[in-house]
Amino acid sequence: METLDASLVGSYLTIMVATNQLSSDIAGVREASRALVRELGFLTPSSDASDGLSHAECHALIEIERHNVIDQTTLGSLLRLDKSTVSRAVKALADRRLVRRAHGTIDGRRRELAITPLGKQRLCKIHAIAGKRVSAALALLAPAERDMIQRGIALYASALRRAKLREDSGIRPIESSDDRDVEALIRSVMPEFGASGPGFAIHDPEVSGMRAAYADSRAQYFVVECNDRIVGGGGFAPLSGGPDDTCELRKMYFLREARGIGLGELLLDQLLERAKEAGFSRCYLETLATMTGARRLYEKKGFQPLDRPQGKTGHFGCDRWYMRDL
């Protein structure tokens, strides 16, 4: 009988323990979620807390009041509801004179929604009923337990939102119609990390016309799209002033909402594979010390730090440089 390597046995046991723990966590969270849904009365079309409104109508009214004025598309995105469901909820609220609808002041195609005085009265009643029930439950807990519940529910809701965002996202080549959105993405993200002054890619002429700048097989750019909205992008092109076999990773950025959910790794894997197919044998990149999340990803993917910049990119504002073989 062959003797198994102790390290392999240890790795296998570690994986099994982690898998069993995740399965246990999944079962526990699902059970707690079911109990919470039942206790809050979400299995019935409406509850005492919603004061006769459906759950969708109640949540819509809350968000409309919270935003003062909100368009119907944004409302649907916040509530995670499809267009038809949102339309029915808004119509029901408007028929009850709880909200008013009007054409948008900037974009006439959008329907802007605002709560009416009658709607505010109805919402005050809803908050009073729901608040009383929550207050009664929290009163049974110690302050530390109340804090734990608040933070735990917020954390779980955030994780669900981010998981849905990743599930709904896709990667595709840039199109001419994307130029405006990609430019807005680059110009909004780079200043977050102090990369807006001289010597940064935000001033490259291509930012205003990315599709044309990446129009051949040796210069490709991809966007990450979620629900018809661009939330990230990245590309590669020959390293200016560098060897013919070396490409540069260019303008890979994500909106804050799309960070930390694995989309960057998915995009980077695709870019590196495409760069290899295009005939490059090495990939170079420039970044900043302040972009810690991006640097962790690059190092995870095998990029090695350099002590000086390569090529002639003109991006003298960058202070970290990396290279990896393809």
**Residue 246's beta-bridge partner residues?**
282
For residues 193 and 255, state if they share a domain: yes
Is the pTM here over 0.85, yes or no? no
For residues 209 and 255, state if they share a domain: yes
pLDDT at 2: 47
More confident residue, 77 or 85: 85
Read off the pLDDT of each residue in 226-232 and give the average, rounded to a whole number.
Answer: 88
For residues 239 and 177, state if they share a domain: yes
For residues 98 and 194, state if they share a domain: no
For residues 62 and 118, state if they share a domain: yes
CA separation for the pair 39, 25 (Å, rounded): 21
| CATH code, 307 | 3.40.630.30
For residues 130 and 179, state if they share a domain: no
3 state DSSP class of 191: helix
User: 17-61 pLDDT, tens per residue?
Assistant: 556 666 778 888 888 888 888 887 777 766 666 678 888 999 999
CA separation for the pair 240, 321 (Å, rounded): 15
For residues 182 and 319, state if they share a domain: yes
| Percent of the chain whose pLDDT exceeds 90 | 61
| CATH code, 66 | 1.10.10.10
Q: Please list the alpha-helical segments (H only) found in the chain.
A: 6-39, 55-67, 72-79, 83-95, 117-138, 143-167, 179-189, 210-213, 263-277, 292-300
For residues 256 and 130, state if they share a domain: no
pLDDT at 1: 39
Domain termination site, one of 140, 160, 191? 140
pLDDT at 14: 58
For residues 236 and 289, state if they share a domain: yes
For residues 196 and 136, state if they share a domain: no
Q: For helices 83-95 and 72-79, what crossing angle results, to 10°?
A: 110
Report if residue 283 sits inside a domain. Answer: yes
Is-contact 41 52, C-beta < 8 A?
A: no
pLDDT at 184: 93
Neighbouring CB atoms inside 10 A of 252's CB total 23
For residues 133 and 180, state if they share a domain: no
What domain count does the chain have? 2
User: 233-292 pLDDT, tens per residue?
Assistant: 999 999 999 999 999 999 999 998 888 888 999 999 999 999 999 999 999 999 999 999
Is-contact 262 226, C-beta < 8 A?
A: no
Is-contact 180 223, C-beta < 8 A?
A: no
Structure tokens belonging to residue 114:
């605002």
| Percent of the chain whose pLDDT exceeds 70 | 89
Least confident range from 66-80, 101-115, 289-303: namely: 101-115
Domain termination site, one of 140, 161, 195? 140
pLDDT at 90: 93
Q: For helices 55-67 and 72-79, what crossing angle results, to 10°?
A: 120
Q: Which amino acid belongs to residue 42?
A: F
More confident residue, 184 or 10: 184
Q: For helices 83-95 and 55-67, what crossing angle results, to 10°?
A: 80
pLDDT at 7: 57
For residues 319 and 193, state if they share a domain: yes
Does position 222 have pLDDT exceeding 80, yes or no?
yes
Report if residue 192 sits inside a domain. Answer: yes
Supply the range of the domain harboring residue 58: 48-140
CA separation for the pair 24, 19 (Å, rounded): 9
